[in-house]
Amino acid sequence: MPETTSPSWDALYATAELQAGYFTTAQGAEAGYSPQLLYKHLKAGRIRRVRRGIYRLVHFPMSDEEHLVDCWLWVGQAGVFSHETALFYHDLSDILPKHVHLTVPETWRRRRLRVPEGLVLRYGHVPDAERTWLGPVPITKPARAIRDVIDTHLSPEHIERAIGDARHRGLISRDEAGQLEARLRESQRT
């Protein structure tokens, strides 16, 4: 018979604290909270349901990245924010993205998912060397973000500005800037 864990609000809070106040049903279970107990706290107003399987502590302070945490938990923490989303959060674009771009492993392409509104899934591998963190969520580094938007044909003017800003701020090296500029020129020929 499996050993039951008694509920620990401290354990649940510690998990949620690292994720801008969010936690999943599975993470709740690890802290000793059954679905019934989560429902009780939901009705008492201590937590709110964000979407199926994802909750947020009601009194946890708001953050600028919390809508990203919701998306990241929805993909089971398997993705990394990329493309226009990464450019925006690295402050390399003045375009406010219409959608949140999240790159997930290629194996996700076969899944039949109802993707939340406003989320665009991209498929591919993002090595650890091309990732960094934006608060509680992973995001592609500037060079990778620029490369991604070159490959998806963002306006060349915006890409050139992003390369220049990233180089000027020391976010990419001179060599990386040269490689990205060459990639941009090549993409414009095709």
Shared domain for 21 and 111, answered yes or no, is: no
Over residues 8-33, mean pLDDT? 96
User: Which residue range(s) make up the domain with 173?
Assistant: 66-189
Q: State how far the Cα of 142 lies from the Cα of 43, in Å rounded to an integer.
A: 43
User: pTM value?
Assistant: 0.89
Q: Are residues 53 and 110 in the same domain?
A: no
Q: How far is CA 59 from CA 22, 31, 135, 150, in A?
A: 11, 18, 19, 41
CB-count burial class (<10 Å; 0-12, 13-18, 19+) for 124:
middle
In a domain, 19, yes or no: yes
pLDDT band, very low/low/confident/very high, at 124 (cuts 50, 70, 90): very high
List, for residues 85-107, the tens digit of each pLDDT value: 999 999 998 888 899 999 999 99
CB 50 within 8 A of CB 37: no
Q: Let me know if residue 1 belongs to a domain.
A: no
Are 99 and 129 in the same domain?
Answer: yes
